[in-house]
Amino acid sequence: MNIPDKKQPEKQPEEQPEKQQEINEVTPSPSPLERAGVRLQEDFPILQREVYGKPLVYLDNAATTQKPRQVVQSIVDGYYSANANVHRGVHFLSQQATELHEGAREAVRKFINARSSAEVIFTRGTTESINLLAHSYGEEFMKKGDEIIVSDMEHHSNIVPWQLLEARKGTAIKVIPTNSRGELLTGVYKGLFTKRTKLVSLTHVSNVLGTVNPVEEMIRIAHAHGVPVLLDGAQAAPHLGVDVQALDADFYAFSSHKMYGPTGIGVLYGKEQWLERLPPYQGGGEMIRSVSFKGTVFNELPFKFEAGTPDYIGTTAFAVALEYITGLGMENIARREHELTAYAMQRLSAIEGMRIYGAAEQRTGVISFLLGDIHPFDVGTLLDKLGIAVRTGHHCAQPLMRRLCIEGTVRVSLAFYNTREEIDVLADALERIRKMF
């Protein structure tokens, strides 16, 4: 695919010192990433393209993020010069591919501050990570009548696997409600525990409301009842970073493609003492130590949970993505996105007829809204024609939509490479759409 002409770059400070000084006086910007905004977009070739003859404004980062050059290059280099199946080969290429793949596991371990790389299981994504745990933990530790606590702001990926377990085993799901600000009712949560509670499975950050849940406190409460906790970190890991030891999470799931890495790679982190006790999820190559028709001895961690040839090209590229974002600094990313979110909230909430869903104290750059009586699909389609990519619909969170008494929203989701100018383009477009209706 040809990449169309570049967008007009934003003005660099050195090009217009007076103008820049003026801007800084009005909106002081301490973030080094904000000042480096242009360079960041240049690292992402797709952000230079146009759609319908308009510069692309990509605001669908909660669905998936764009990939920096280095990540794409890693995939190309992998297939051009380092492709061989991992772990089993004595030859040079296989050993090189294995080193890269296991190096990627170590990069993930470092990123999430796990104690050991044996605690890092590669999967296809958050969804597969949760399904793995639902099967494996459900098989070993849950029986008829046992309970799992989730919240009403979960993505379907953290609901349906537990419903499948319910159908298989007769377990039950209990739900933590949210208040009108989109915050979990922790008081109600405390009252949901019984002797039958076997697991809490919670989203760290809502993919609809942007709410950052008070997971440290919720984990402490669960542990006081002797109950382990799985966090769905799909929307948290890319924006806040993760320290699984500081959180004291027992399990943590996330996806590479939402973290500027390739699709088809995800991680399930699990504390070693839990993973040792869990049975394998799938059988096949890689996850065994020895096989005979009398029986199979399983491999050690983490390979026990990784049946079949892994996507070693993908894991290597994921490590490159992690290197890229840690190079920028997770704190800088969080600060930059916080500034952009505050600006977007200010611009959007000034639009007549705007209803923003979610007003949590702690939030990320996910903003869901409805504009007057206009159907979200119409808003999304009109924005698209102006080159602005947003998501519309239920965002795989139908129970939350029901709780909010709506069918869907328009969702804008920001990444560090977005700019204030792009938010201005969005806000102006929404004003135009409002007037049209």
d(CA 231, CA 208): 16
Binding span for ligand PMP by CB under 6 A among 121-129, 188-196, 211-219, 343-351: 121-129
Residue 419 near ligand PMP by CB under 6 A: no
Q: CA 113 → CA 171, 271, 309, 314, distances in Å?
A: 33, 12, 26, 21
d(CA 419, CA 39): 12
d(CA 250, CA 246): 11
Q: CA 396 → CA 131, 180, 227, 281, distances in Å?
A: 16, 20, 27, 25
Q: Which of 7, 101, 135, 155 is in the footprint of ligand PMP by CB under 6 A? A: 155
Site pattern 241..280 for ligand PMP (x: CB under 6 A) = --------------x-------------------------
Residue 67 near ligand PMP by CB under 6 A: no
Tally Cβ neighbours within 10 Å of residue 104.
28
Please, which residue, 197 or 207, has the CB nearer to ligand PMP? 207
Which one of 160, 172, 396, 406 is the catalytic residue?
Answer: 396
Segment (H or E) for 253: strand 251-255
Residue 368 near ligand PMP by CB under 6 A: no
Task: Tell me the HSE value of 404 on the side-chain side, using a 13 A CA sphere.
Answer: 24
Please, which residue, 65 or 74, has the CB nearer to ligand PMP? 65
Q: Which of 41, 203, 213, 413 is in the footprint of ligand PMP by CB under 6 A? A: 203
Backbone angles phi, psi at 365, to 5 degrees: -85, 40
DSSP 16-56: -HHHHHHHHHHS----HHHHTHHHHHHT-GGGG-EETTEE-
Binding span for ligand PMP by CB under 6 A among 85-93, 123-131, 244-252, 307-315: 123-131
Annotation marks residue 396 as catalytic:
yes
Residue 127 near ligand PMP by CB under 6 A: yes
Binding span for ligand PMP by CB under 6 A among 120-128, 163-171, 293-301, 329-337: 120-128
Q: Which of 94, 178, 235, 419 is in the footprint of ligand PMP by CB under 6 A? A: 235
Which residues within the stretch 377-416 sit at the binding site for ligand PMP (CB under 6 A)? 396
Backbone angles phi, psi at 396, to 5 degrees: 55, 35
The answer to whether 266 touches 128, Cβ cutoff 8 Å, is yes
The answer to whether 328 touches 33, Cβ cutoff 8 Å, is yes
Binding span for ligand PMP by CB under 6 A among 228-236, 303-311, 367-375, 378-386: 228-236
Residue 197 near ligand PMP by CB under 6 A: no
What's the distance, CA 278 to chain centroid? Answer: 25
The answer to whether 418 touches 59, Cβ cutoff 8 Å, is yes
Binding span for ligand PMP by CB under 6 A among 227-235, 269-277, 282-290, 402-410: 227-235
Q: Which of 157, 178, 409, 413 is in the footprint of ligand PMP by CB under 6 A? A: 157
Please, which residue, 146 or 154, has the CB nearer to ligand PMP? 154
Active centre residues (catalytic): 396
- Per CB under 6 A, residues contacting ligand PMP are 62, 125-127, 155, 157, 203, 207, 232, 234-235, 255, 396
